[in-house]
Structure 1
Amino acid sequence: MTWLILILAAFLGALVQGLTGFGSVIIMMIFLPSILPMTQAAGIGGVIMFSSVLTLTIRYRHEFKLKRVLPPFIVYAAVATWSVHLSSVLDTHILRLMLGGLLVALCIYFTFSKTAGSQKYPLWIALIFMVISGFFNGLFGIGGPLMALYFLSLSDSMPDYLGNIQGFFLIDAIYITAIRVFNGILGTAEIPDIIVGMLAATVGTMVATRLSARWNLETIKPFIYGFIGLSGIYYLFF
C-alpha cells in the first residue's frame, strides 16, 4: 500500500506540474504525510519532482531567461533557508490556514478580474510573493502558487511561462534539497522511495507534455487560477 500511495502521488504531482507549471508537491503532500513524517514528505516530494522539472526545463530551455529567474530566486532562497528550521518552533497549522486563505482570495481575484492575469506587478508586490513563497517552501516544500502568478504575469506564451518557471524550480530543487540533506532531513534511507517516485513522475510528465502541447497560455490560465484556489481550500480544511 505504501508503494501504491507513493506511485499515485508522484504520477499525479507530475501530471499537474506539467499542465499548470507548478503544484507537484501540493498534490504529493495530500498523500505522502500519511506514510511519512511531514518534513521528510516535503523533502522527498521535492526530490521526486527533480526528474519531472528537469525534463520540462530541457524541453523549454530556449525560453529560459536567467535574468528573469535569478533575482526572484535569490530573495526566495534566502527566506526558504531561514524558514526550513522553523517547522519545530512555529504553529504550522495556523500558517497553513493563513496560506489557504491567501490562495483562495487570489483565486477569486484573478478569476473575476479581467486585467489581473495580464498586468505586471509593482516591485513591492513581486517581493511579497517571493518572500511568502520562500517561507512556505522552507516549511512545507510548497512555494509554487505565488511564483506561478509572478511568472505568468511576465509571460506571453505557454513555452515562455513553462521555460522560466521550470528553470526556477530546477534551481530551487537543487538548492533546497542540499539544505535538507545538510540538516539531516534527507539521507540514504529515503533513496528507494525517491527512485520509485521519480519513475512514476516521469510517466506523469510524459502524459502532461502531450496534453499541454495542444493548449495556449490563455487556455491554461483558468486552470492555473482554479488549482490555486483548490490548493487554498485544501490548506484551510485538511
Structure 2
Amino acid sequence: MQWDLVFVFLIVLIGSIMQGASGFGFGLVVMGILPLMLTVKDSTLLTMSLVVVMTITILSKLYKYIELKQMLIIVVSALFARIFSFLFLNTYGEMDFLKQWLGIFLIVLVLYLLFSKKKKEKPVITTPLLPIILGLLGGFIGGIFAVGGPFFVFYFLMIYEDKRKYNANLQASFLITSLFTIIIHGANGDFDSSFILYFLCGLVSVFIGTYIGLKLFEKLSNEIIKKIAMMMVTVAAIILIFIG
C-alpha cells in the first residue's frame, strides 16, 4: 500500500503540472498509467474526483473569464452522455478488456495531438450541431476513461483567442461534468474505503502540481510539456494493451 500511494502521488503530480500549464492533460496522463495498478472504474472515479479539486484551484484565479453562454450547449450534451457512460462503466468497469480499449484509445489520442496542426484560420461555428457532437463524444468517453478533454479543447480553441478565456471555460466544463459523474456514482455506492486514502494522497499532489503548472503557464512552452507527457502516456498505453 505504501508504494501504491507513492505511485499515485507521482502520477497525479505530473498530470497536475500538465493541466496547470496547458489547460488539459491531467486525465490523459493519469489514466494512461493508473490502470496499471487499479481497475479502469476505480482509476476513472479517482481521476474525476481530483479533477474537481484541481479545476476549482485553477478557476480561483481565472473565474472572471468564465462565459456560461458559450459553454452551455457542449456541457449540457456532455452531461446527457455521462448518464450512458455511467451505465457502461458500472457494467464493464471491472473487466480487464477495458484496459486494452483504453490503451488503444490513448494511442489514437496521442497520435492526433502530436501530429495535428493548428489551422491559421479558425472555423466559424454557425450551428449548434458541432458543440452537441463534441459534447456527446467528450461526455461519453470522459465518463468511461476520464480522457474526454481533447473534444472540449478543440471546441474552446475554436471560439477563443484569449488563453485565459479558453482555459477558464475549459476548466469550468471539466468541473461541471466531473462533479455530475461523481454525484451519480456516489449515489450508486461506487466509492469504498480505500478510495479515501488514494484521494487524500492525490489531493496533496494536485495542490503542488497545479501550483507549479500555473507558474509554467506563463513561462514554459506548452508544446514541450505536452510532448513529454504524450511520450509517457504512449509507453503506458502499450503496456496496457499487451500486459494489462
**Shorter-chain TM-score tier:** 0.7 to 0.9
Indicate how the Cα distance of structure 1 residues 154 and 226 shifts in structure 2: closer, same or farther if over 3 A, else same: farther
Shift, 1:107, TM fit? 4.8
Indicate how the Cα distance of structure 1 residues 99 and 81 shifts in structure 2: closer, same or farther if over 3 A, else same: farther
Note the alpha carbon deviations across 1:45-100, whole angstroms, 9 max, x for none.
11123222101111101100111122211100111111222133596445763574
- Do residues 97 (structure 1) and 104 (structure 2) align? yes
Q: How many residue pairs were aligned?
A: 231
2:216 maps to which of 211, 216, 230: 211
Aligned-pair identity (%): 20
CA contact (8 A) 1:57 1:167 kept: yes
Structure 1 length normalisation: TM-score? Answer: 0.83
Partner residue of 1:179? Answer: 184
Which ranges in structure 1 are unaligned for 5 or more consecutive residues?
Answer: none
- Do residues 191 (structure 1) and 184 (structure 2) align? no
- Do residues 6 (structure 1) and 11 (structure 2) align? no
Structure 2 length normalisation: TM-score? Answer: 0.81
AA paired with 2:186? V
AA paired with 2:199? I
CA RMSD of aligned residues (A): 2.8
AA paired with 1:71? I
Indicate how the Cα distance of structure 1 residues 227 and 127 shifts in structure 2: closer, same or farther if over 3 A, else same: farther
- Do residues 71 (structure 1) and 76 (structure 2) align? no
Shift, 1:175, TM fit? 0.9
Partner residue of 2:161? Answer: 156
CA contact (8 A) 1:48 1:195 kept: no
Partner residue of 2:136? Answer: 131
CA contact (8 A) 1:14 1:205 kept: yes
CA contact (8 A) 2:65 2:164 kept: yes
CA contact (8 A) 1:11 1:204 kept: yes
Shift, 1:166, TM fit? 0.8
Partner residue of 1:146? Answer: 151
Indicate how the Cα distance of structure 1 residues 200 and 78 shifts in structure 2: closer, same or farther if over 3 A, else same: same
User: More deviation in 5-14 or 47-56?
Assistant: 47-56
CA contact (8 A) 2:76 2:135 kept: no
Indicate how the Cα distance of structure 1 residues 234 and 178 shifts in structure 2: closer, same or farther if over 3 A, else same: farther
CA contact (8 A) 2:50 2:199 kept: yes
AA paired with 1:190? F
CA contact (8 A) 1:136 1:142 kept: yes
Indicate how the Cα distance of structure 1 residues 199 and 31 shifts in structure 2: closer, same or farther if over 3 A, else same: same
